[in-house]
Amino acid sequence: MIEPFLSAIPVLKRLEDAGFEAYFVGGSVRDYFLNKQISDVDIATSATPKEVKGIFSKTVDIGIEHGTVLVLFDHKSYEITTFRTEGDYQDYRRPKEVSFIRNLNEDLQRRDFTMNAMAMDRTGTLIDPFNGQLAISKEEIQTVGSANDRFQEDALRMMRAVRFVSQLSFSIEEETLQALTNLVPLLKNIAIERKRAEFEKILIGNNCNNAIKILLETNLFSYLPGLANQEKLIGKLLDFDCVGLNKNEMWALLLFCLNVKEESIEDFLRNWRLPVKEIKDIQHILFFVQKRFEQEWAVHDLYTAGSNLITSTEKLYNVIIGLKGTESLPNLLNLYQKLPIKQRSDLDVTGGDLMEWFNQKGGPWLKETIFKIEQAIVNEKVENDKQKIKEWLLTCSQK
């Protein structure tokens, strides 16, 4: 076995010593058999949340109604979830209430895909009642049991299937794909936040283009905010090699393909329930990409954008114009690094200084003057030195 499983073995051992069963489950076991980087291990146990909390001294209730307790052990944290079934599903969504059970197989049975329904004990023995390992070797995404039933229980699983296409470059097994094609309208019932989480993973996956093709072929895109009737424009995404773009850069590329006007970007992203900060970041990327189409970077734009936005803009611009790599970037970042100031607070003058020098109260003139000083400093017309700025301003006002 390898890390992070090795560090977690004592956690399983503790649960076993207390008389319970405990296994590694879910994505970490799948990724282990795929030789992929494993971010964190999920642990499933026959102990109830209350029993788990009795065994470990440091725990946090993070989703106790779903049976999940966060355990802090040896400076690391582990999500430990009690074996459960999901009882009756309502309105094609995940049930609110779950029942805890003592049996591993039943827990594995409620999981979405066979590759995600494997467990591994602390000695490395695999428990694989639904042939997940075979699915992995065939690179296939297949539901546990009837795809029709499983997608009707929780329609989000259809998006998860496409998300795994993007992340793992697997294909969707025939019956699973057939059920998906028939049942996509059920996605109407799914909370946008849950759809967004999967959609973002689709966007940043290595095999994004194949996943987008499936979204189009199955009509799934019609059940996503702002995408209905946009088949042609969504298809433009396929023209680009977007591997390596991050989440915000991908949102910006999508908006670019969809031709969303500047004033409608916020509404589009709000409909996806994106946080305000991310909406702003994406708007900024699109603003500078637009500008980049019109002209080379001006020094003042490098200053206003800052290194993260310069990077995102340049990456996306190069993808759009079909240039591989980002050769232009180091030079731009170097120019940025050499700027005499990086932000307004680096200025050697304050609004207070200006009001005193000109003996005037605050007002729009103050913002304009500060902007003028920033421009002059980044363009090396004046040094960032209080006295020199004062002299420069006086000569300007005499002109």
Cα–Cα dist 331/183, whole Å: 50
Q: How far is the CB of 313 from ligand ATP (least distance, A)?
A: 28
Of 250, 251, 258, 209, residue with least CA distance to 233: 258
Shortest separation between residue 59's beta carbon and Mg ion, angstroms: 19
Name the residue nearer to Mg ion (CB basis): 37 or 295.
Answer: 37
User: Least distance from C-beta 334 to Mg ion, angstroms?
Assistant: 39
Choice from 53, 84, 111, 195 touching ligand ATP (CB under 6 A): 111
CB of 26 to Mg ion, least distance (A): 6
Decide which of ligand ATP, Mg ion, none touches 112; Cβ closer than 5 to 8 Å per partner kind: ligand ATP
281 binds, among Mg ion, ligand ATP, none (CB under 5 to 8 A by kind): none
> Which residues, listed in sequence order, are joined to residue 71 by a DSSP beta bridge?
59, 78
DSSP SS3 for 118: coil
Contact window for Mg ion (CB under 5 A) among 22-30, 115-123, 195-203, 390-398? 22-30
Which candidate, 357, 302, 376, places its Cα nearest to that of 333? 302
Closest to ligand ATP by CB, 117 vs 234, is 117
* Contact between 195 and ligand ATP per CB under 6 A: no
Which of 112, 249, 281, 374 lies at the binding interface for ligand ATP (CB under 6 A)? Answer: 112
Among 27, 67, 132, 205, binds Mg ion (CB under 5 A): 27
27 binds ligand ATP, rule: CB under 6 A: yes
Is residue 313 a contact residue for ligand ATP (CB under 6 A)?
Answer: no
Alpha helices in the chain (DSSP H): 5-17, 27-33, 49-55, 104-109, 132-138, 147-153, 156-168, 174-183, 192-204, 208-217, 231-235, 247-258, 265-271, 276-294, 299-321, 328-337, 351-358, 364-378, 386-398
| Beta carbon of residue 250, minimum distance to ligand ATP (angstroms, whole number) | 16
- Residue nearest ligand ATP, CB atom distance: 27
Give a three-class secondary structure readout of 41-65: CEEEECCCHHHHHHHCCCEEEEEHH
Query: 185 vs 154, 211, 222, 224, 299, CA distance in Å?
Result: 12, 18, 8, 10, 50
Toward Mg ion, which CB reaches closer, 27 or 49?
A: 27
CB of 26 or CB of 49, closer to Mg ion: 26
Closest CA to 219 of 143, 146, 150, 162: 162
Query: Residue 186 and residue 156: Cα distance in Å, rounded?
Result: 9
**How far from 330 is each of 51, 121, 181, CA to CA, in Å?**
55, 48, 45
Among 5, 20, 26, 258, binds ligand ATP (CB under 6 A): 26
Q: How would you class 373 by CB atoms within 10 Å of its CB: exposed for 0-12, middle for 13-18, buried for 19 or more?
A: buried
Among the candidate windows 19-27, 79-87, 137-145, 364-372, which touches Mg ion by CB under 5 A? 19-27
- Closer residue to ligand ATP (CB): 114 or 312: 114
- Residue 333 CA: distances (Å) to CA of 66, 244, 326, 328, 345: 47, 18, 11, 9, 20
Site residues for ligand ATP, 211-240, by CB under 6 A, read none
Hey, which residues between 113 and 142 contact ligand ATP (CB under 6 A)? 116-117
> Toward Mg ion, which CB reaches closer, 27 or 226?
27
Out of 107, 154, 173, 281, which residue is the one contacting ligand ATP (CB under 6 A)? 154
**Residue in this structure with the two tokens 């004062």, named with its chain if needed:** 390
**Binding to ligand ATP by residue 107, rule CB under 6 A?**
no
| Per-position b or e across 27-53, b if 16+ CB within 10 A of its CB | bbbbbbbeeeebeebbbbbbbbbebbb
- Provide the binding-site residues for Mg ion, judged by CB under 5 A: 27
- Provide the binding-site residues for ligand ATP, judged by CB under 6 A: 26-27, 42, 111-112, 116-117, 154, 156-157
